[in-house]
Amino acid sequence: MVEVEPAIEEAKQQVLNHGAFSDSSNMAARVHVRPDLVLKLVENCKLVNANQILHRMIQPFELRLARRMARLGTETAFEVLVKAKALEAKGRDIIHLEIGEPDFDTPGNIIDAGCDALRKGFTHYGPSAGLMELREVIAQYVSETRRVNVAPEEVVVVPGGKPIIFFSILALAEDGDEVIYPNPGFPIYESMINYVGAKAVPIRLREELDFRLDVGELAGLITDRTKLIIVNSPQNPTGGVLEKKDIDAVARAIGDRNIMVLSDEIYSRLIFEGQHHSIMSLNGMKERTILLDGFSKTYAMTGWRMGYGVMRVDLATHISRLMTNSSSCTASFSQVAGIEALRGSQSSVEQMLNEFKKRRDVMVAGLNKIKGFSCQLPHGAFYVFPNITETGWPSKKLADALLEDAGVAALSGTAFGGFGEGYLRFSVANSIENIKKALDRVDGWVNKNL
């Protein structure tokens, strides 16, 4: 063992010479420096945070994460929300156009059903795949809206939409497999593909195609290693909506190959123009499709944490097992509320859709009047995705400046993948009054800085 006093003296010299304690603290910990000597060193060097330094020295064990954790991404919307809240805590007025959730409250009939369920004792564990009554209601709803026959055994209820993304990729993809996903797109797709060790293969969504898939490009990306293709319509972050001809072309590109499709249809009820088309509805595609849908966007139930997947029975068994090994089950009272959401009045959905459309129109018209901005009219979801290349600013730098200088929280297009450079995403889940105020602030900032 190295002698203590020489080690302390060496540490002291490093601190005095470099003004940093990192190397010396690691060295001192290795030689088991006595705490009283550490404190004496701190005092002699006139350093602060003695307790923190002492803690680092007497607990030298570094955190050794699994390598796969380095591959795990994040959802930037929550990071920007934290920054915006921090600015608000300092007295700043921030207009929130960054987070992807309806600003409406959950409809009263759904809240009443949830509260009633709590009083009736729906506070215990339930089946991992979900309560059978809810699975029956979902099966009936999907059968009617996608024009296919769905059995309750093909439905798995999960806490939110993300588990279906995570579990599907976890169950189907591994080292050597390829997964094709939209870019710009929901960031969790790429994050989960990388996490499981598969190869993430982006297909670029292009503005000139209204951010729909270039099916010819998709066909060129499919290889013998392609295990899964992810499609999302209406699309986050662009608001693009796939047409019937697009869905048909995707199915033709897949042909008779054993490739699964994860069809993220979480915004299927939020379409302003046109109709929703699901690849699950096509002949020969139901057994190769995992449909993702849920309650968060349609019924303003983001905090209730409830989504679902519809898939072939043998895969549903494995997805349910992943639920058992992770969350056990979705909250029972939330599921009872979900039954009411699907069976009860749908007037709140129409009201919310109409309001989002009005806001979209105001936002797009306003952005197109701002120097350096150009914005197409999105046909679904509740986002706009303006092109900002004419500003000459990178997306992340511009989004940061608008938050810090103008008090408008938005997301960089690069939060949704590399092909999002040159764009910003604004959510219209805010009042028209606040949207107009945000537009004025952005315009004012642009006129001052560009």
The percentage of residues in the chain with a pLDDT greater than 90, rounded to a whole number, is 84
* 305 phi-psi bin (left φ>0, alpha ψ -120 to 50, beta other): left
Per-residue 3-state assignment (H helix, E strand, C coil) for the chain:
CCCHHHHHHHHHHHHHHHCCCHHHHHHHHHCCCCHHHHHHHHHHCCCCCHHHHHHHHHCCCCCCCCHHHHHCCCCHHHHHHHHHHHHHHCCCCCEECCCCCCCCCCCHHHHHHHHHHHHCCCCCCCCCCCCHHHHHHHHHHHHHHHCCCCCHHHEEEECCCHHHHHHHHHHHCCCCCEEEEEECCCHHHHHHHHHCCCEEEEEECCHHHCCCCCHHHHHHHCCCCEEEEEEECCCCCCCCCCCHHHHHHHHHHHCCCCCEEEEECCCCCCECCCCCCCHHHCCCCHHHEEEEEECCCCCCCHHHCCEEEECCHHHHHHHHHHHHHHCCCCCHHHHHHHHHHHHCCCHHHHHHHHHHHHHHHHHHHHHCCCCCCECCCCCECCEECCECHHHCCCHHHHHHHHHHHHCEECEEHHHHCHHHCCEEEEECCCCHHHHHHHHHHHHHHHHHHC
Cα–Cα distance between 340 and 435 in angstroms, integer?
A: 32
Binning pLDDT at 50, 70 and 90, where does residue 5 land? low
For 72-81, 147-156, 198-207, which range has the lowest pLDDT when averaged over its residues?
Answer: 72-81
Question: Is it the case that residue 23 has pLDDT exceeding 50?
Answer: no
pLDDT for the residue 22: 43
Q: Model confidence over 205-230: pLDDT tens digits?
A: 999 999 999 999 999 999 999 999 99
Read off the pLDDT of each residue in 344-368 and give the average, rounded to a whole number. 97
Structure tokens given for 90: 């300092």
pLDDT for the residue 27: 42
What's the chain's average pLDDT? 91
pLDDT for the residue 31: 42
Question: Is it the case that residue 18 has pLDDT exceeding 90?
Answer: no
pLDDT for the residue 20: 43
Tell me if the pTM is above 0.85: yes
Cα–Cα distance between 78 and 139 in angstroms, integer?
A: 32
Q: Model confidence over 380-405: pLDDT tens digits?
A: 999 999 999 999 999 999 999 999 99
Read off the pLDDT of each residue in 42-66 and give the average, rounded to a whole number. 64
Give the residues across from 386 on adjacent strands.
none
Read off the pLDDT of each residue in 237-260 and give the average, rounded to a whole number. 97
Read off the pLDDT of each residue in 95-107 and give the average, rounded to a whole number. 95
pLDDT for the residue 220: 96
Domains with residue ranges and CATH for the chain:
4-58 (no CATH), 73-104+347-449 (3.90.1150.10), 124-343 (3.40.640.10)
Read off the pLDDT of each residue in 356-362 and give the average, rounded to a whole number. 98
Question: Is it the case that residue 107 has pLDDT exceeding 90?
Answer: yes
Read off the pLDDT of each residue in 402-410 and give the average, rounded to a whole number. 98
Question: Is it the case that residue 305 has pLDDT exceeding 80?
Answer: yes
The percentage of residues in the chain with a pLDDT greater than 70, rounded to a whole number, is 87
